[in-house]
Amino acid sequence: MPSQLYRSSLATNLLWLLVLLSPFLVLVTATSLGSQARALLHWKSTLQGGQLLASWNIDSRPCNWTGVACRVTRKGRLVIADVHLPDTSLAGPLDAFNFSALGSLANLNLSCNRLNGTIPPAIATLSQLVTLDLTGNLFVGRIPIEMGSMKGLQFLSLSQNQIMSSVPPSLSNLSGLTHLDLGQNKLRGPIPRELGRLEKLRFLELGDNQLSGSIPPGLGNLTRLYHLALCKNQLTGSIPRQLGDLIDLIYFSLSNNNLTGTLLSIMGNLTKLQSLLVWKNQLSGSIPLEIGNLIEVSKLDVSNNMLTGPIPSIIGNMSNLNILHLFNNELSGSIPSQIGNLLHIFNLDLSNNMLTGSIPFSLGNMSKLNILFLYDNKLSGPIPPSLGNLKNLTDLRLFMNGLYGPLPPEMNNIIGLTSLQLSNNNFSGYLPADICKGGALSYLAVSNNSFQGPIPMTLKNCTGLSRLYLHHNQLTGDISQYLGVYPHLWYVDLSFNRLSGTLSPDWGRWHNLTCLRISNNNITGVIRPEFGHLSNLQKLDLSSNHLQGEIPKSLGNLAYLYNLSLSNNRLVGEVPMELGRMSNLQLLDLSRNGLTGRIPYQIGTCMKLQLLKLNNNNLSGSIPLEIGNLVYLQDALDLSHNSLTGEIPSQLGKLSMLQYLNLSHNGFTGGLPSSLKDMVSLSVIDVSHNELEGPVPDSPFFHKAPLEWFLHNKGLCGVVKGLPPCVSAASRRNDESKHHKVVVILAITASMVFILLSLMIVGAALQFRKRKKQSLPAQDNGNREGAFCILSFDGRYAYKDIIEATEDFNDKYCIGTGACGSVYRAELTSGKVLAVKKIHLQEIENTSNEIPFQNEIQTLTRIRHRNIVKLYGFCCSTRHKFLVYEYMERGSLGSILRSEAAAAELDWVKRVDVVKDVARALSYMHHDCDQPIVHRDITSNNILLDSEFKACVSDFGIARLLQPDSSNWSMIAGTHGYLAPELAYRMRVTTQCDVYSFGVVTLELLMGTYPGEFISVLPSSSAQSSSVKTILDQRVPLPTAEAADEVVAVLRLAIRCVDDNPESRPTMKHIFYKLSTPKTHPNLPSLDSLKLSDLRNGEI
């Protein structure tokens, strides 16, 4: 009983104690929660766009605020535990976030906002934090090493920011971490090997950064990983065998790096894998048979490597595959029929390999297939009828193979096709009648085959059509009956067929059209004036038909047109003066018609013209003086076979880039202007069959010119072998007298020069002794060559040396002049020879020209490559602005090719090596830099050669980085004739623009002259029947049998590079790989018998 009384009394006393203390407990809790609330409110006050935080105010309970959650601690305290504010448009820094006041936070999610600045090291004071998600913001700077002390952290995501530091090894201290995502930043340096200690890690994402070095083998210790992504970095070395221990992996990506070695057989251990991505590396060897063990894989991508050998038939066991990408390798052998067992696959791409044999019948079993790419292989045989079972197929590409025979009628069953590309095969027969039965077809390319018969009628109602390539077949029928109105159509090529009929006025409603080619057919009637409504048209080629009537004046409305070819028709009337409004015109060919009247002077306003052919007409009058304004004329100016009269204008001498000039078979009178010797690029000039008289200009070019270019004139004379001399006996005696006077003058002058030189030598010796004494104490200052290092540029000494070495940029040191500046040879006192590019004074005054100057500096200081010209330094003063480069002894490739002697020294082995050097540089710029760099002005004049013929790419004044998150639209820049044709109509800069320019330069190197006309006629049957021998530069002996393989391979690649369609061009990485691994062809025909058309054969 006493004990009960005691217990009752104790309980009563405790109750009273709690009553007395309760106000203080509430006060403590309120004070703690209040300080946390004030910390959040202070941070909110520093943010922008916090409209969704309206509930955050001092008058409301923080636990009820948007994105805030509270909890009660074990000690009964109420604290803020979670701040969850993803995608709430918050902007501002984290500097004002008082992390120490919120030490009880367990989860902090601020993802998908616009928070910026650096991540404060104080964030590490959140010692109880379990989840930290800062994904998708604008954070820069480094990852704080202090974060390694947040021992309770299990989830850490800093992805999709702009963090530029290395990955701190201290993160390996987060022993409880299960999820680490640092992807899509700008992280640099190696992957820390210490990360291999995070044994609880299940998710590791480091992709899309700039990490370098090798993959640490220690990552093989992370045996709980189900996601490992190291893609889109700059990792090198081989794949560690230890990664084969990661048997729980579901997602594995090493793509887009520089990994070498082989695909390891231990990959077969990863039996839970669903995605295996190792594309765009430099992996070699064969595909291991063990890959067949990966029966759970739904996506396998090993494309863009250097894999060889056959496709293993065991791939047919990977029954869950949805996507199989093996393209851009060197795989050989036949396509295994077992691939037909992949019943769930919807994307199969085996393109750009060396596969042979026929297309397996079993592919027809893959009923879910949407995409089938087998192009650019060596496949043969007909298309199996079983492909007609692929009723879900939307994109079928079989071009560039050796397939033959008619298309199976079963292909009419594939009604959902949006793209059908069968070009460059040997197909015959008729095109499927129901080729557009489903109305979905957008892209039809069946060119370079032997199809015959009419264009299918269903094509007329195919309103979604955007591209139509039917050229180089044997199609017949009335063209106007088979084509309808296509609102999305932008490219049409029907050339080299047997089509007839007339041009339809309805085609003037193809408002998106950029190219219309119907050349080499049997089209009759007139050119429709409605074509002047095609406001986006860039190329119009109606040549070699039977068109009549006049050229419509409305064509002058086509402001974007760069190629107008109406040659070899029956057109009459005058050349419309309205054509002078086409300011982008580069090629104008009206030859072989019945045109009359005068050449309109307005043609001289088409300043971008590179080719002008008006030959074989009935034109009269004189050559307009304004033709001399066409300073970009390069390929040809052909006015021959007309009735032109008057004198040849001296203004033609301004056409310094022109290579072909033909004025023959006219009625020109007077003499040849002496200014013609200023046409330094000329390779042909034909003025025969005129009424010309007087001397031929005296220049090395005319000394070597053949007599037939000058025959059948009234009285030409002079330096051409076979022409009579212009000098009479009296004038010869006068010359001898003059010669005697010159000898006397020279003797007197030589004596004076000798005296002056003696005085100068004595003076220089005294000055040298004086300088030597003054310089002795300063010998430890180092030589001046170091002043030209970008990282330690000493402008004072460099400037003084260069001014002295060039005598303040005296013209006698000038070795080249361009649009923005002149280049000088500067030999410093140390003996170092440099090339100095001085920006023209007017360029300095023009602030808009500051961009190329800065571009060149910024581009060349961020890249280092043996085939990119070295930038030693730059100077920018009030008086001069110049760039300092390494000196390339042999100058530009263009100047070498224009010189008979220098070109003869450039044999075929050296030429192939030059191509490899340029390809190596461009491959590095496009594929191995932090961001792809597009040069935009690859020309023969911007390729420099040193004394050993090593080539370097130069002149980066208009280069640009390709931004992955930018559209990369740009104004047209570069050198006309080397620009990719798509720039004329879409002005979007891509690496494929450089590929086209590379192709032009390569052809120029092989042919010895600018290949513009060759490229324009390349698709024609006459060009395709040309022998390779006639194309090659005749100034050097034909390549030996050993070199012929490589020359033919280079020519084949060059022709692919200048394809009008940028999607059909290879990448520079692929080009360099092909050039680096040349294949021998023991059955290669002789260059005499080898035709251009043979280059389509994959065996060559």
Q: Write the pLDDT tens digit of every residue in 514-531.
A: 999 999 999 999 999 999
More confident position, 183 or 963: 183
Q: Residues 6 or more apart from 877 whose CB is under 8 A from it?
A: 799
For 242-284, what is each residue's pLDDT tens digit?
999 999 999 999 999 999 999 888 888 999 999 999 999 999 9
Residue 357 and residue 378 in contact, taking contact as beta carbons nearer than 8 Å: no
The predicted model gives 836-846 an average pLDDT of: 61
pLDDT score of 64 more than 50:
yes
For residue 456, the one-letter residue type is P
Position 1100 confidence tier, pLDDT thresholds 50, 70, 90: very low
Among 548-562, 731-745, 895-909, which range has the highest average pLDDT? 548-562
Q: Residues 6 or more apart from 881 whose CB is under 8 A from it?
A: 838, 839, 843, 844, 853, 875
Choosing from 937, 994, 1045, 1060, the catalytic residue is: 937
Q: E strands, 423-506, where?
A: 426-429, 443-445, 450-453, 467-469, 474-475, 491-493
Distance of alpha carbon 865 from alpha carbon 20, whole angstroms: 81
CATH topology agreement for domains 34-211 and 788-842+850-886? no
Lowest mean pLDDT segment, chosen from 175-179, 498-502, 897-901:
897-901
For strands 833-839 and 821-827, give the pairing. Answer: antiparallel
pLDDT score of 782 more than 50:
no
Lowest mean pLDDT segment, chosen from 22-31, 207-216, 645-654:
22-31
Position 959 confidence tier, pLDDT thresholds 50, 70, 90: low
pLDDT score of 841 more than 60:
no
More confident position, 714 or 829: 714
User: How many Å separate Cα 720 from the centre of its chain?
Assistant: 46
pLDDT score at 976 = 73
DSSP H helical segments within 452-571, as ranges?
A: 479-482
Position 857 confidence tier, pLDDT thresholds 50, 70, 90: low
For 1048-1096, what is each residue's pLDDT tens digit?
989 999 999 998 888 788 888 889 888 887 665 555 667 777 877 777 5
pLDDT score at 1050 = 93
Lowest mean pLDDT segment, chosen from 73-82, 118-127, 144-153:
73-82
Residue 267 and residue 290 in contact, taking contact as beta carbons nearer than 8 Å: yes
Looking at residue 742, what DSSP letter applies?
H
Distance of alpha carbon 183 from alpha carbon 882, whole angstroms: 41
Distance of alpha carbon 564 from alpha carbon 537, whole angstroms: 10
Distance of alpha carbon 982 from alpha carbon 123, whole angstroms: 51
CA angle 1093, 459, 376 (to 5 degrees): 30
Topology classification of domain 891-1097: Transferase(Phosphotransferase); domain 1 (1.10.510)
Residue 719 and residue 698 in contact, taking contact as beta carbons nearer than 8 Å: yes
Residue 560 and residue 984 in contact, taking contact as beta carbons nearer than 8 Å: yes
pLDDT score of 756 more than 50:
no
For 905-953, what is each residue's pLDDT tens digit?
899 999 999 999 999 999 888 887 777 888 888 999 889 999 889 999 9
Distance of alpha carbon 1081 from alpha carbon 695, whole angstroms: 53
For residue 677, the one-letter residue type is K
The predicted model gives 445-463 an average pLDDT of: 92
Distance of alpha carbon 680 from alpha carbon 1009, whole angstroms: 13
For 371-408, what is each residue's pLDDT tens digit?
999 998 999 999 999 999 999 999 999 998 999 999 99
H or E element that contains 301: strand 299-301
What residues pair up with 308 in beta bridges, in sequence order? 330
For the chain, what is the mean pLDDT? 85
Phi/psi for 287 (5° steps) reads -75, 120
Distance of alpha carbon 589 from alpha carbon 959, whole angstroms: 32
Distance of alpha carbon 171 from alpha carbon 957, whole angstroms: 43
Q: Nearest CA to 515 among 1019, 1000, 1022?
A: 1019
First to last CA, the chain: 113
Position 966 confidence tier, pLDDT thresholds 50, 70, 90: very low
The predicted model gives 1002-1010 an average pLDDT of: 92
Residue 144 and residue 123 in contact, taking contact as beta carbons nearer than 8 Å: yes
Our answer to whether residue 937 is catalytic in this structure is: yes
pLDDT score at 1021 = 61
Residue 188 and residue 209 in contact, taking contact as beta carbons nearer than 8 Å: yes
In terms of Cβ atoms closer than 10 Å to its own Cβ (0-12, 13-18, 19+), residue 356 is middle
Structure tokens that stand for 1097 in this block: 């054969």
Q: E strands, 584-740, where?
A: 587-589, 594-598, 611-613, 618-621, 636-638, 643-647, 660-662, 667-670, 684-686, 691-695, 715-717
Lowest mean pLDDT segment, chosen from 213-222, 598-607, 800-809:
800-809
What residues pair up with 117 in beta bridges, in sequence order? 139
Distance of alpha carbon 141 from alpha carbon 94, whole angstroms: 13
**Percent of the chain residues topping a pLDDT of 70:** 84
CB count, 10 Å around CB of 783? 12
For the domain bounded by 788-842+850-886, which CATH number is listed?
3.30.200.20
For 681-710, what is each residue's pLDDT tens digit?
888 999 999 999 999 999 888 988 999 999
Position 866 confidence tier, pLDDT thresholds 50, 70, 90: confident
Indicate the SS3 state at residue 486. Answer: coil
For the domain bounded by 625-718, which CATH number is listed?
3.80.10.10
Integer Rg of the chain from CA: 37
Helix, strand, coil percentages for the chain (3-state, nearest 5): 35, 20, 45
Q: Nearest CA to 950 among 999, 890, 1024?
A: 890
pLDDT score at 10 = 41
3-state secondary structure labels for all residues of 288-299 = CHHHHHCCCCCE
Q: Is the dihedral of CA 953, 958, 963, 968 positive or negative?
A: negative
CB count, 10 Å around CB of 470? 25
Distances (CA, A) of 133 to 108, 130, 174, 953: 6, 10, 15, 45
pLDDT score of 871 more than 90:
no
For residue 342, the one-letter residue type is L
Looking at residue 190, what DSSP letter applies?
P
The predicted model gives 500-504 an average pLDDT of: 95
Structure tokens that stand for 217 in this block: 């083998």
pLDDT score at 882 = 81
In terms of Cβ atoms closer than 10 Å to its own Cβ (0-12, 13-18, 19+), residue 1082 is exposed
Indicate the SS3 state at residue 973. Answer: coil
For the chain, which residues make up each domain, given as ranges? 34-211, 625-718, 788-842+850-886, 891-1097
Residue 384 and residue 406 in contact, taking contact as beta carbons nearer than 8 Å: no
Distances (CA, A) of 332 to 336, 931, 1049: 11, 33, 18
pLDDT score at 844 = 42
**Is 3.40.50.2300 the CATH classification of the domain at 34-211?**
no
Indicate the SS3 state at residue 616. Answer: coil
Structure tokens that stand for 473 in this block: 């077949």
Question: How much is the pTM?
Answer: 0.71
CB count, 10 Å around CB of 963? 10
pLDDT score of 3 more than 80:
no
Q: Nearest CA to 914 among 995, 975, 1003, 992?
A: 1003
Indicate the SS3 state at residue 107. Answer: strand
